[in-house]
Structure 1
Amino acid sequence: MQPILREVPFSFETERLLIRGPLPGDGAVVRTAVLESLNELRAWMPWAVNIPDETGYEAIIREKYLDYLARRDLMMLLWLKGTDTLIGGSGLHKIDWRVPKFEIGYWVRTAYTGNGYITEAVKGITKLAFDVLGAKRVEIRCDSLNERSAAVARRAGYPLEATLRHHDRHHLTGNLRDTLIFALVAD
């Protein structure tokens, strides 16, 4: 089946969150959340080094909207249920529909850390991947020094599968870094 023909929900809810794909018009609110969280994001997220202006960010969101519709990348925004408060982002990335397999990425707005929102989102997105999209494998990858990200993976039930030593260079320092791979597979 062609990826664009696959049925993928555009939004779903967990206990406290509305999780949905990006829509035209979301650029400004996403940019604001990222700017408020830059000190934490820059250390781990290469995309947080150079933040475009509002127009540029809106263009990115619209491209991600098209990617969602085409099933190339499923960026998801995390909203507190019943509000217009964006608390972070996540999604299913590096999609291989032949398997099918996905990689979950995530970030949280600084003001909302420590409340379990990201773990809740990851559990919900994992359920979507396996139960709705038929995933055979879902991975979470993070820098070995990113203890908070690794803790989210563990709390969401992902066992550590591998450590890729000297796998990449850090986007700010250029130092060699290790990558942790957490993975769940279908039975």
Structure 2
Amino acid sequence: MAYDPILFSIPEAFESRRLLIRAPILDDGIKVNEAIRESIDDLLPWMPWAKTMPTPEESEANIRKARLKFLERSDMRLLILLKENGKLIGSSGLHNIDWKVRRFEIGYWVRSSFGGQGYITEAVEAITNFAIHELQANRVEIRCDSKNIRSYRVAERLGFTLEGIIRNEELSVDGSLRDTMVFSKVRGVEF
């Protein structure tokens, strides 16, 4: 199989029971900005990009860059929307991609008013299945701060294996050293 990912035909949208999960498109910036504005206090402890609230224009520029990266297959941001009304409730994606190994890392955040309702678990399960079936993943990872209980509970609920905790692996948002939990699913073992 060719390894030039630009040649891969990859669906830009797929669904789960309640969600539409899709690549970013032009003018998504305002929706993302609204979700960040509502959720900034919850995002700040975990997301380095949440240190300052972006302007709507900055969010749109970010979405357009994410669109380009999706098209070139270097990073695959995915937006999470409710099927029933199209409301943006979070963001996820496949990051730190290694196409030769077919390794993908899933990251995610949820809009504050939609937290605790199982949407992220549902989205991550759908994205994992997308990576396995559409992208022929050999390895899917979730990495998170060991203090981010809600994040690592998603990995546990979905049957990801905790491979280990990398101690003092990087700086957390507040500048202190953080331990990173590494969860995975690998072909031939979990799927």
Scaled to the shorter chain, the TM-score interval is: over 0.9
RMSD: 0.8
Aligned to 2:170: 168
May I ask how many residue pairs the two structures share in their alignment? 186
TM-score (normalised: structure 2): 0.95
1:87 to 83, 86, 89: 89
Alignment partner, residue 48 of structure 1 = 50
1:113 maps to a residue whose letter is: G
For the 8 Å contact 2:40–2:53, the answer to whether it is kept is: no
| Structure 2 gaps, min length 5 | none
AA at the equivalent of 2:182 = I
Aligned to 1:128: 130
Cα distance in 1 for residues equivalent to 2:53 and 2:100? 34
Instruction: Indicate whether 1:35 and 2:37 are aligned.
Output: yes
Identical residues among aligned pairs (%): 50
**TM-score normalized by the length of structure 1:** 0.97
What SS does the corresponding residue of 1:37 show, helix, strand or coil?
Answer: helix
Per the TM alignment, residue 84 of structure 1 is displaced from its structure 2 partner at its CA by 2.2
The 5 A counterparts of 1:132-147 are 132-147=134-149
For residue 92 of structure 2, give the secondary structure of its aligned residue in structure 1.
Answer: strand
Aligned-residue offset at 1:129:
0.5
The corresponding residue for 1:16 is 18
Kindly provide the CA deviation profile for residues 155-185 of structure 1, in whole angstroms up to 9, marking residues without a partner as x.
Answer: 111111110011111122x211100000000
* Match 2:107 to one of 97, 105, 108: 105
Which ranges of 4 or more aligned residues in structure 1 deviate by more than 6 Å? none
Greater mean alpha carbon deviation, residues 23-32 or residues 52-61: 52-61
Q: Extract unaligned runs of 5+ from structure 1.
A: none
Instruction: Give distance in 2, aligned partners of 1:97 and 1:25.
Output: 29
The aligned counterpart of 1:185 is 186
Secondary structure at the aligned position of 1:99 is classed as: coil
